[in-house]
């Protein structure tokens, strides 16, 4: 299984770079030392094997602790420093860990600070990993996602789930050498792909810190120095990079594949990437944290881009996807409905009592995603979140309907329609944030006039033209921030 393979890769790639962060590079030999030292510490200090909260921002001790936890038979909870304190305390109340690694204090658990763990993991006189304690059914990690209620939900992903995910990634990605470039924070399940794909192939994991991401000069220097062969991005992050002309093959000559996940990939984004990088492979993948990173994938072809027909792909072989209506009745091919997933990727459930949308379907564990989609020619297409439906002035409106009609105007590169609500949750206004195509010259009044020829008056949004969409900590569009000042 995965952990045996990782140990094998570590042994075979001792002198190669395992991890690069902020110009610091660590070989597999050094990384193994860190993992061993932390493994023995965990076995001693966390003998009840409760989940370990690992706090920080992409430091090497985080990745080493993740692996040490797994080898020592404990789940870990990755928590990025961008999480507000109150949210972390809620997580701690929920999980009740005995141990926190990183600079976060809570009286319910013991903290080993960053300085302490770094000192300890650097000890040269260390014992090898004695045994892999984690069993296939055990929880491998717990990732907290934002629940629609505002209370974070801890998704428990098992070793079996993750093992199946990485086996699948090995099949859909053919980059087996070089460097995997990371964008996301470790508390976002997008990074499961780069964290474990790198380890499973004994190749370099190159991470871009938040600070670097917000400084374009430094970011492009970093991209250049990464020598990345594979990148794991959200489409919004790629859009951000595409704003700069130097996001191209010259800057990243070895980049062979970009694996996208987390958000809708627009044909416009894929087209620009193809124009800037010759022979690049663009893979679109889809899935919620509750189904272990992703469960469908597809290579985006020129034809798909030209026809503006971007699927989210085909399911991995050990999961099954159903399109269902509100009564969980299966829809026919071509019909739109909610995406329901069964099979090996479906996580164990949330921590605590809340079952959420984990259900039993046809006798199997299933997850009802809240995503609307349909099948066409055997491929799955994503339409929107179910909750993009609103009520405004008594009318039922799909915000996506507004976005789609804006795209039909021909000059809109990206449109995000959001509903502004008052304190009682009543929608008071619909606003469409728009980024225009490069050569388009249109102002907000003109767009409003154009859209009113396509939509009924009550659906016509207030138009705001913007240059750049704000991103949340996971690198997806931050709709909350968008509406803050309007």
Binding site for ligand AMP (CB under 6 A): 145, 189, 261-265, 284-286, 288-289, 312, 369, 371, 382, 385
**Residue among 255, 194, 261, 200 at smallest CA distance from 20:** 194
Nearer to ligand AMP, 222 or 269 (CB): 269
Nearest distance, CB of residue 472 and ligand AMP, angstroms: 10
Write down the least CB distance from residue 128 to ligand AMP, Å.
36
Helix/strand/coil for 323: strand
| Other C-beta atoms lying within 10 Å of the C-beta of residue 55 | 24
Cβ distance to ligand AMP smaller for residue 347 or 482: 347
**Helices 114-121 and 60-72, axial angle in degrees (round to 10):** 70
Closest residue (Cβ) to ligand AMP? 289
Minimum distance, C-beta of residue 156 to ligand AMP, in the bound complex (Å): 14
CA distance 190 to 215: 22
Dig out the tokens for 28 from the structure: 């597999």
Do strands 462-465 and 427-436 pair parallel, antiparallel, or not at all (unpaired)? Answer: parallel
Query: Phi/psi at 17 (nearest 5 deg)?
Result: -75, 130
Q: Shortest approach of ligand AMP to residue 188 CB, angstroms?
A: 6
Q: Which is nearer to ligand AMP, 20 or 345 (CB)?
A: 345
CB-nearer residue toward ligand AMP: 206 or 382:
382
Nearer to ligand AMP, 177 or 387 (CB): 387
Q: What are the strands, taking DSSP E only, across 159-241? A: 179-182, 204-207, 230-233
CB contact set of 85 (below 8 Å; sequence gap of 6+): none
In angstroms, give the least distance from the CB of 97 to ligand AMP.
22
Closest CA relative to residue 252, chosen from 221, 283, 282, 210: 221
Q: Check residue 440 and report its DSSP letter.
A: -
C-beta closer to ligand AMP: residue 104 or 382: 382
Q: Are 51 and 12 in contact (CB under 8 A)?
A: no
The pair of structure tokens assigned to 270 is 């894929």
Question: What's phi and psi for 9, nearest 5 deg?
Answer: -60, -40
Measured from the CB atom, is 145 or 254 closer to ligand AMP?
A: 145
CB of 428 to ligand AMP, least distance (A): 25
SS3 at position 40: helix
Give me the least distance between CB of 252 and ligand AMP, in Å please.
22
């Amino acid at each position: 299984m995965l952990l045996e393979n990782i140990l094998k890769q570590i042994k075979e790639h001792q002198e190669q770079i395992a991890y690069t962060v902020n110009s610091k590079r660590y070989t597999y030999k050094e990384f193994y030392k860190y993992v061993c030292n932390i493994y023995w510490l965990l076995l001693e200090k966390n003998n009840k094997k409760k989940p370990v909260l690992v706090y920080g921002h992409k430091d090497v001790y985080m990745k080493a602790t993740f692996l040490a936890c797994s080898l020592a038979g404990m789940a870990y909870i990755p928590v990025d420093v961008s999480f507000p304190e109150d949210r972390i305390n809620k997580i701690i109340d929920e999980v009740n860990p005995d141990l926190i690694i990183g600079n976060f204090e809570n009286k319910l658990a013991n903290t080993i600070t960053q300085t302490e763990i770094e000192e300890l993991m650097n000890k040269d006189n260390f014992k090898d990993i004695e045994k892999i304690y984690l069993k296939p059914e055990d929880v491998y990690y717990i990732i907290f996602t934002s629940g629609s209620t505002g209370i974070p939900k801890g998704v428990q992903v098992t070793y079996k789930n993750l093992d199946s995910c990485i086996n699948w990634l090995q099949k859909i990605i053919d980059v087996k050498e070089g460097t995997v470039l990371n964008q996301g924070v470790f508390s976002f399940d997008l990074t499961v792909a780069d964290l474990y794909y790198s380890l499973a192939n004994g190749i370099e994991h190159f991470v871009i810190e938040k600070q670097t991401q917000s400084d374009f000069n430094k970011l492009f220097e970093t991209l250049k120095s990464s020598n990345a062969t594979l990148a794991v991005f959200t489409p919004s992050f790629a859009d951000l990079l595409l704003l700069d002309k130097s996001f191209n093959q010259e800057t990243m000559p070895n980049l062979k594949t970009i694996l996208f996940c987390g958000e809708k990939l627009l044909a416009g984004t894929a087209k620009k990437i193809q124009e800037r990088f010759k022979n690049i492979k663009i893979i679109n993948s889809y899935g919620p944290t509750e189904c272990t990173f992703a469960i469908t994938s597809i290579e985006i072809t020129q034809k798909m881009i030209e026809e503006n027909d971007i699927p989210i792909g085909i399911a991995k072989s050990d999961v099954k996807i159903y399109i269902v209506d509100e009564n969980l009745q299966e829809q026919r091919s071509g019909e739109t409905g909610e995406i329901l997933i069964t099979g090996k990727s479906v996580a164990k459930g949330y921590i605590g009592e809340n079952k959420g949308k984990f259900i039993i379907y046809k006798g199997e564990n299933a997850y009802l995603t809240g995503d609307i989609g349909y099948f066409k020619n055997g491929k799955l297409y994503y339409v929107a979140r179910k909750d993009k439906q609103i009520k405004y002035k008594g009318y039922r409106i799909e915000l996506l309907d507004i976005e789609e009609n804006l795209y039909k105007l021909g000059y809109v590169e990206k449109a995000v329609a959001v509903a502004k609500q008052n304190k009682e949750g009543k929608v008071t206004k619909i606003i469409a944030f728009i980024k225009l195509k490069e050569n388009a010259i249109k102002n907000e009044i003109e767009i409003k006039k154009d859209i009113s020829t396509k939509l009924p008056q009550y659906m016509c949004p207030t138009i705001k033209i913007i240059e750049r969409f704000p991103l949340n900590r996971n690198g997806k569009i931050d709709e909350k921030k968008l509406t803050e000042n309007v």
